[in-house]
Chains A and B, each alone.
Chain A
Amino acid sequence: NAGVTQTPKFRVLKTGQSMTLLCAQDMNHEYMYWYRQDPGMGLRLIHYSVGEGTTAKGEVPDGYNVSRLKKQNFLLGLESAAPSQTSVYFCASSYRAGGAKNTDTQYFGPGTRLTVL
């Protein structure tokens, strides 16, 4: 049982390049999330999904796109990377949200460190 995995762990991009971050979970969770974490800013929600085929915007969605074609995978895309997108990206999943501990606990992946030059 691997939990939440993220690919890649590190990446360096040049401004204007594109890339996709992959998140996979093997816990049969309905909800998946993408966050970015910057010094002094805490965890900020980029996009989330409440089930296969659904996506929704979070607090800081601009410059990112997401897709949830399979229940176990949640992809985060950067179409034209900018230096402001240099950050640590975390993916998380939960059974659901808005209920109780057993269902709402978010399990996080190890993170992807992205640098945009």
Chain B
Amino acid sequence: QKEVEQDPGPLSVPEGAIVSLNCTYSNSAFQYFMWYRQYSRKGPELLMYTYSSGNKEDGRFTAQVDKSSKYISLFIRDSQPSDSATYLCAPPNQAGTALIFGKGTTLSVSS
């Protein structure tokens, strides 16, 4: 089993929809998770950061971690066409020397 898995999509939604992006992980030692957003033909950039328990909200974005099922979710409220991008979840590796990136989920929001 890969350490981090994401459904690649693509996921297509209309403007204003609530979007749920998911990530599963195998290593219960992960202490935190980062969500990166990558626009087409650009480098990834940090979107959100959450510890391995509970929820975190930042504007229209909410990150949720369920440690018991090793499941991470990123919710986007009132989705906008500008949210169209690939979303990657990334916990740190066990040695704490690098991030492990999921393959990413591609989201398309149509106006």
Contact = CB atoms under 8 A, between A and B. Distances in A.
Interface of A: 4, 31, 33, 35, 40-45, 48, 50, 56, 58, 90, 92, 97-101, 104-111
B57 interface: no
Interface of B: 8, 32, 34, 41-46, 49, 88, 92, 95-99, 101-104
List the 10 shortest-distance A-B pairs measured between CB atoms, nearest first. Answer: A98-B96, A108-B43, A42-B103, A101-B49, A43-B101, A105-B46, A108-B44, A97-B97, A98-B92, A90-B43
Contacts, number: 62
B32 A100 contact: yes
A11 to B, nearest CB: 16
Nearest to B46: A105
B43 A104 contact: no
Contacts of B49: 101, 105
Given A108-B44, A110-B43, A40 B32 contact: no
